[in-house]
Structure 1
Amino acid sequence: MKSFPKSIQSELNQQQQNDALQKGALFNDLIDFASNDYLGFSHSEIIFKETQEYLIKNKSTEEAASGSQFLSGNRKLYQETEAFIANFHQTETALIFNSGCDAAIGFFSAVPQKGDFILYDELCNASISDGIQQSNAKAYKFNHNDFEDLEKLILLNPDTIIYIVTESVFSMDGDCPNLEELVRISDKHHCYLVVDESHALGVFDSKGEGFVQMLGLQDPIFARILTFENALGCPGAAILGSVQLRDCLVNFAQSFKSTTWLSLHSVASILTAYQHFEKEQQTISQLRKNIIHFNQEKNMLGLKPLFVHSKSAIQSAIILGNENVTSGAKKLQEKGFDVKAILSPTVPEGQERLCFCLHSYNSEEEISELLQLLSVFIFSPQI
């Protein structure tokens, strides 16, 4: 076997020296505070059974797709699912992509044009960053949730088509921007607002429609990007917007045009999971109760200064240093709780953290015990 390139090996060695070398974790049976399966849909026997029944009833038993839409044609199941998603999210159209990364790359490579500007929050997720790098437009980041900084950048570029990009729930911090103010700024300066709703779907509003619809802001937003791996527990993503936006993506987004479609089983899983949102309002309500309980408990235990302010299912405790945060995660795992350490350079140095993902199926007792253990480890680290 040929020797590995020295330059890449050097990077790996540096990661190891910084206690930042990561390897795929094995599945475990610890109490889940790590996955993004907020509502437990990924292991729902009912959703699995109804998906199978739908496929059999509609004679859609092919296991895999046979090519892109342009090769194999648009299937009825795709059309039905996209129509259901569009109606659910009160928008004109929805276009399904294979993943959130494909959706972001498809959008930013196809929609913003040369001479346009993309202004994006500095904490936008890696998929958005990757997508923006594929764009022909110039891109500049603004300070996290700092709209004064954003407006300065807008005013520096008058008479330019500008896309403002943010997340409704930031994937590392779990906080939310002031979307009403972002809509006001976008309208004032005639910008196009793009919102990633990946970690808001299934979490906010009575039926899990997301943060945008909870605020009633779906109409003035140019595009919403959703991923299904989190609340729906199945692969795939979608971009929501106007008919013209869909036409643009279908014709110019290579990550859509040149990619083999999701299997019919995956699309049926998406449709079935969406249909369950209305049936699972109690489950969504329980998730909201768990978020409230988590915040109350951390405040009572004096842990509030440790955490990034969040009212979402993502709660991040800042613990400086890769070695310290790795040690903290290991201690909690030894006590039976699956909590993951987020290391630099995944986050900036000095922002290393323990990430707690909350679910509808976590009990209040589990949440209380977890935070009590964290309190002991923080305030009595020798234990």
Structure 2
Amino acid sequence: MLNKFHHFEEALEKREKNGTLRILKQNQEGIDFYSNDYLGLARNQEFQDLLLKIVYENPKLLSGSTGSRLISGNSSIVVEAEEFIAKEHQYESALLFPSGYNTNLALFSTLPTRHDTIIVDEQIHRSVHDACKMSNAKKLKFKHNDVEDLKKILKKQNGLCYVAIESLYSMDGDIAPIQEIVKITEKYKAGLIVDEAHAFGVFGYGLVDKFQFQNNVLATVITYGKALGTHGAAILTSDLIRSYLINFASPFIYTTSAHDFLWMSIFKGYEFSNTNKKLLIDLEKNIKIFRIQNLKSPSSENSPIQAIIIPDNHRLRSLKETLLDNGYLTYAVFSPTVKEGTERLRICLHSFNTEEEIIGLTKIIKEFI
């Protein structure tokens, strides 16, 4: 019977030959320039001690939720957390999910119907593409951060349109022209959905909050597995959209709720980061140190994600391995994950990196390229 699935083996062999085979590895020892722990909360001892104290006082937080939010998993803690998050972000409502991927599946598989159109930035996260397949809506792409291209596409559409962007993109580390996009989507009466996964915590509460676009955006996605150092995600939206998702979003209805410790850690993460502003100051300082090393990058100058284009999978792998041999943990993004010729070293900067580490990293990169 296994012979019927030989194409699986062939696909894996092809990736191995091309040097793009993915395998799971345990976390390695080294200097972290690859995780999304931008503010260092996932390793922050004071934050860990705070959470540990809460668990000691209420060990039931670690127990399973026992069911979906619609059955037995809707605790007072998750309700309080959602109310707090909505108020902090100045939205009517918030709806929590166990992960950002699950959140995007819920949004884009539920709101658009087969009669609607979803227009996505060509560099939008894979979770959005997967969700679009589930929605049966027509999906179109506009050129990355190209406002004029988005306008051209919107002009040609009839019926209801949704536009999906990220505020800070994880591959190029560049920022969306959100002010211009808001104007265009309002002009053409399209529903704008903004994924703030990488912007939250780095740019305060994100760019929607910075520019006070809460009433101009249909929904905002905030994730907590990056700058907040925990897990889960929230949809920030109106009471109407929240109620609609609770009633019709399969990824919400048919999944067991996370345990209360997750919701509590998000709650406390907000409080901790808001009272420890030095973490953000240190991150901003380290981004500036990296940028003055004058490495060519498509990334925004104030982004914690800095991409270095190495347009060849083999050269890119060689650089990554050289860095690893010197104790630097980085992430290489090979084609076909990105377009051929745009392969890159994806460097993540953190509040805890030192100037010496940053200069050591960039010195090796300069010698290589």
Q: Same-fold call, TM > 0.5?
A: yes
Post-superposition Cα deviations, 1:176-210, rounded to whole Å, max 9, x if no partner, equal 11110001101111111100000001101xxx211
1:344 equivalent among 329, 335, 346 = 335
1:223 equivalent among 219, 223, 228 = 219
Q: CA distance change for structure 1 residues 318 and 4 in 2, over 3 Å: closer, same or farther? A: farther
Deviation at 1:309, TM superposition (A): 4.2
1:188 aligns with 2:182: no
Separation in structure 2 between the aligned mates of residue 291 and residue 215 of structure 1, nearest angstrom: 22
1:281 aligns with 2:270: no
Q: CA distance change for structure 1 residues 232 and 321 in 2, over 3 Å: closer, same or farther? A: same
Post-superposition Cα deviations, 1:211-232, rounded to whole Å, max 9, x if no partner, equal 2222222321110112111011
Post-superposition Cα deviations, 1:88-129, rounded to whole Å, max 9, x if no partner, equal 211111100111111011011111122111111000011111
Separation in structure 1 between the aligned mates of residue 156 and residue 331 of structure 2, nearest angstrom: 41
Post-superposition Cα deviations, 1:42-87, rounded to whole Å, max 9, x if no partner, equal 1223222322333454574442221101220420100111111112
The CA RMSD measured in Å over matched residues stands at 1.7
1:377 aligns with 2:360: no
Question: Secondary structure in 1 aligned to 2:340?
Answer: coil
Q: CA distance change for structure 1 residues 73 and 31 in 2, over 3 Å: closer, same or farther? A: closer
1:1-383, aligned counterparts within 5 Å?
2=2, 5-57=5-57, 60-158=60-158, 160-204=159-203, 208-297=204-293, 299=294, 303-304=295-296, 306-378=297-369
Q: CA distance change for structure 1 residues 230 and 61 in 2, over 3 Å: closer, same or farther? A: closer
Aligned residues: 369
Post-superposition Cα deviations, 1:320-351, rounded to whole Å, max 9, x if no partner, equal 11111010011111111111211111111111
Contact 1:93/1:242, CA 8 A, preserved across alignment: yes
Range that drifts further, 260-269 or 172-181: 260-269
TM-score, normalised via structure 2 length: 0.96
**Which blocks of at least 5 consecutive residues in structure 2 are unaligned?**
none
Question: Secondary structure in 2 aligned to 1:72?
Answer: coil
Deviation at 1:2, TM superposition (A): 5.0
Separation in structure 2 between the aligned mates of residue 39 and residue 187 of structure 1, nearest angstrom: 34
Q: CA distance change for structure 1 residues 14 and 280 in 2, over 3 Å: closer, same or farther? A: same
Amino acid corresponding to residue 241 of structure 1 in structure 2: T
TM-score, normalised via structure 1 length: 0.92
Amino acid corresponding to residue 44 of structure 1 in structure 2: N
User: Quick one: percent identity of the two aligned structures?
Assistant: 38
Amino acid corresponding to residue 162 of structure 1 in structure 2: C
Question: Secondary structure in 1 aligned to 2:341?
Answer: coil
Post-superposition Cα deviations, 1:129-152, rounded to whole Å, max 9, x if no partner, equal 111221132110111111111111
Contact 2:40/2:350, CA 8 A, preserved across alignment: yes
Contact 2:310/2:316, CA 8 A, preserved across alignment: yes
Amino acid corresponding to residue 27 of structure 1 in structure 2: N
Tell me what 1:381 maps to: none
Question: Secondary structure in 2 aligned to 1:232?
Answer: coil
Contact 1:82/1:93, CA 8 A, preserved across alignment: yes
Contact 1:290/1:364, CA 8 A, preserved across alignment: yes
Separation in structure 2 between the aligned mates of residue 257 and residue 177 of structure 1, nearest angstrom: 32
Question: Secondary structure in 1 aligned to 2:292?
Answer: helix
